């Protein structure tokens, strides 16, 4: 068993909160219908799933550093349900970040808007 598989099992047993960053233009859609796996991703590392970060500080850093061309980034808190499977993301671009991925839709009732980050890019 690979290390990320062991971390995935452990993560699904203990963690209940994750964070997701999205361009503000997606706010209304996310608020109404949640996060969908078929939505275009800002980062190819999510491999068709929804990328998640383990803590809010990582999400803020991600919004500032990894979304450089996006002016306004919203951060959403995800409450993991018992049946939701979250996997450790082993993509090389995300090594050491504490990134996870979910390959199922996340309904809006499992989301809470946390904050918007405005970077004033011209």
pLDDT for residue 51: 87
pLDDT of residue 54: 87
How far is 20 from 93, CA to CA, in rounded Å?
17
Calpha distance 122→110 (Å, rounded): 34
DSSP summary character for residue 96? T
Give the 3-state secondary structure of residue 57.
helix
Residues 5-58: pLDDT tens digits? 555 555 555 668 999 999 999 999 999 999 998 655 555 445 678 889 988 998
43 touches 93 (CB < 8 A):
yes
Tell me what pLDDT residue 57 has: 92
33, 62, 83, 120 from 117: Cα distances, Å: 22, 11, 31, 9
> How high is the pLDDT of residue 116?
93
Mean per-residue pLDDT of the chain: 79
């Amino acid at each position: 068993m690979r290390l990320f598989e062991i971390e995935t099992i452990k993560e699904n047993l203990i963690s209940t909160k994750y964070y997701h960053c999205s361009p503000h233009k997606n706010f209304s859609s996310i608020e109404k219908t949640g996060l969908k796996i078929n939505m275009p991703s800002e980062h190819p590392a999510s491999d068709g799933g929804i990328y998640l970060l383990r803590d809010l500080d990582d999400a803020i850093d991600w919004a500032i550093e990894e979304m450089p061309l996006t002016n306004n980034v919203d951060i959403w808190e995800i409450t993991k349900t018992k049946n939701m499977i979250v996997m450790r993301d082993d993509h090389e671009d995300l090594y050491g970040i504490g990134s996870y991925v979910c390959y199922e839709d996340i309904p809006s009732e499992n989301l809470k808007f946390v904050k918007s980050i405005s970077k004033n890019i011209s």
